Amino acid sequence: MAKVYIFLADGYEEIEGLTVVDLLRRANIEITMVSITGNRNVTGSHQITSLADVLFEEVDYTDADMLVLPGGMPGTNNLLEHKGLDQLLKEFYAKGKQLAAICAAPRVLGIKGLLKDKQVTCYPGNEDALLGAQVVNTAVVTDGNITTSKGMGTAIDFSLSLIRSLKGEAEAEKIAKSIQYQHYCL
């Protein structure tokens, strides 16, 4: 079974984080919500508090297939500043493992130099942080081991693309159909 970790910071965009968790769980993909705050209660950018499964420091990430970063402000900046996450993202990138980020969160990967020569997308206005990347104007783009998406309105497409990467097109189509999603066109 594929194993995914999604990182929650205070100020994360709730729809971008929880849509990924919900749809991957529907696809029987093991996804763990990880708090980087030192507290399992994480408050999103719209004051919705979620209970993370674990704290960052409680996890051995060697079994992970994918790491996911939701956007939102100031959540993206909080992800960017976390030293342990910084090291983990760089290790995953060096090993060619899958990284995914939505909305403003591709900034984190860009500032860390992990998007060089990749096609990526992000929430408009964050392009300057995507150092060395080719920015494309699509809802979701996967280039090699990196998947990026524009924002809250693309959260379902983003989630389905992650399912496709981990379990194939048929599973992504099955989940799209089960939630009556008509716009899946990746």
Which residues, at least 6 apart from 45, have a Cβ–Cβ distance to it below 8 Å?
11, 12, 13, 14, 72, 73, 74, 75
Q: What is the CATH number of the domain that holds 142?
A: 3.40.50.880
Q: Is residue 186 part of a domain?
A: no
Residues 23-82 pLDDT 10s: 999 999 999 999 999 999 999 999 999 999 999 999 999 999 999 999 999 999 999 999
Q: Can you list the pairs that 139-146 forms with residues at least 24 positions away whose Cβ atoms lie under 8 Å?
A: 139/186, 140/186, 143/118, 143/119, 144/96, 144/118, 145/93, 145/96, 145/97, 145/98, 145/99, 146/98, 146/99, 146/100, 146/109, 146/114, 146/115, 146/118, 146/120
Cβ proximity of 54 and 27 under 8 Å: no
Which residues, at least 6 apart from 55, have a Cβ–Cβ distance to it below 8 Å?
34, 35, 38, 39, 40
Cβ proximity of 80 and 111 under 8 Å: yes
Tell me which of 4, 18, 99, 103 is the catalytic residue: 103
Q: Is residue 101 part of a domain?
A: yes
pLDDT of 182 reads: 77
Domain that holds residue 39: 3-178
Residues 84-143 pLDDT 10s: 999 999 999 999 999 999 999 999 999 999 999 999 999 999 999 999 999 999 999 999
The backbone torsions φ and ψ at residue 34, rounded to the nearest 5 degrees and listed phi first, read: -110, 125
Please compute Rg for the chain using Cα positions: 15
Q: Is residue 151 part of a domain?
A: yes
Q: Is residue 43 part of a domain?
A: yes
**Domains in the chain, number:** 1
Cβ proximity of 2 and 31 under 8 Å: no
The yes-or-no answer on residue 103 being catalytic is yes
Q: Is residue 120 part of a domain?
A: yes
**Around Cβ 61, how many Cβ atoms within 10 Å?**
16
The candidate with the shortest Cα–Cα distance to 172, out of 6, 15, 23, is 23
Cβ proximity of 71 and 148 under 8 Å: no
Q: Is residue 185 part of a domain?
A: no
Q: Is residue 28 part of a domain?
A: yes
Q: Is residue 89 part of a domain?
A: yes
pTM: 0.96
